Amino acid sequence: MAKKKFVVGCFDNEEVLFPAVKKVRTAGYKIRDVYTPFPVHGLDHALGLRETSLHTAGFIYGITGTATALGGISWILTYDWPLNIGGKPHFALPAWIPITFELTVLFAAVGMVYTFCYLCQLAPFVKKHHFHPRATDDLFVMVIECTDKTNVEDLKGFLSSNGAIEVNEQIAEEGWWWGRYDKDDEKTLEKEIVAA
């Protein structure tokens, strides 16, 4: 995949981050992502990300579970193995509610977690480029994608003046990918740290 140049600005306070995000976006820069140590509410809207539709997927998995349970049990107890239990009806819907419910929950939960991992490309052994090791600790790391027209020095100064405590430039592969972390990349990674 194509390598791209990114300008990375690190903030240590979310109250500084929000106005900075706004300004960077108004200035016309493209924010690739902001890496935060915890969910910062409202940041997704500030970045212009659309709502996730993961819950819709969850609903679909859920009704798949309901249908599987009801269909399966009906077929088994009325057609494939119609067992006479004390002369009670074969189609004993009330008695099937617990299992139907459990399978609904099971399908929805398992399906959603897999979808979540798929969408975020999370799995054991997946390695990704980390722009700053403290992004999982206490820094809010804003990553801006550079184009040919971007004046990197200007952008760095712009970030510093908006409260970034650490600004640097990194080259990383654009987009996420499965399984491979470029060892060579790490060697050629240009990383110069400019104190704010």
List residues near another protein by CB under 8 A. Answer: 14-15, 18-19, 33-44, 47, 49, 51-52, 54-55, 58, 62, 72-73, 76-77, 80-81, 83, 85, 88, 92, 95-96, 98-99, 101-103, 105-106, 108-110, 112-113, 116-117, 119-128, 130, 133-138, 141
CB nearer to another protein: pick between 67 and 157: 67
Q: Whole-number minimum distance, CB 145 to another protein, in Å?
A: 14
Q: Whole-number minimum distance, CB 28 to another protein, in Å?
A: 20
CB nearer to another protein: pick between 43 and 152: 43
Q: Measured in whole angstroms, how far is the alpha carbon of residue 47 from the centre of its chain? A: 14
CB nearer to another protein: pick between 1 and 95: 95
Q: Whole-number minimum distance, CB 111 to another protein, in Å?
A: 10
Q: Whole-number minimum distance, CB 148 to another protein, in Å?
A: 25
Task: Give yes or no for a contact between 6 and 146, defined as CB atoms under 8 angstroms apart.
Answer: yes
> Residue 31: beta bridge partners?
144
- Report the C-alpha gap between 135 and 140 in whole angstroms: 6
Q: Whole-number minimum distance, CB 59 to another protein, in Å?
A: 9
Alpha-carbon dihedral of residues 4, 7, 8, 9, nearest 10 degrees?
Answer: -160
CB nearer to another protein: pick between 108 and 167: 108
CB nearer to another protein: pick between 3 and 88: 88
How big is the CA angle at 33 (ends 31 and 38), to the nearest 5 degrees?
Answer: 135
Instruction: Please give the helix or strand (H or E) that residue 6 lies within, else none.
Output: strand 3-11
Q: List, in sequence order, every beta strand (DSSP E) within 108-149.
A: 140-145
Per-residue exposure over 10-20, b if at least 16 CB sit within 10 Å of its own CB, e if not:
bbeebeebbeb
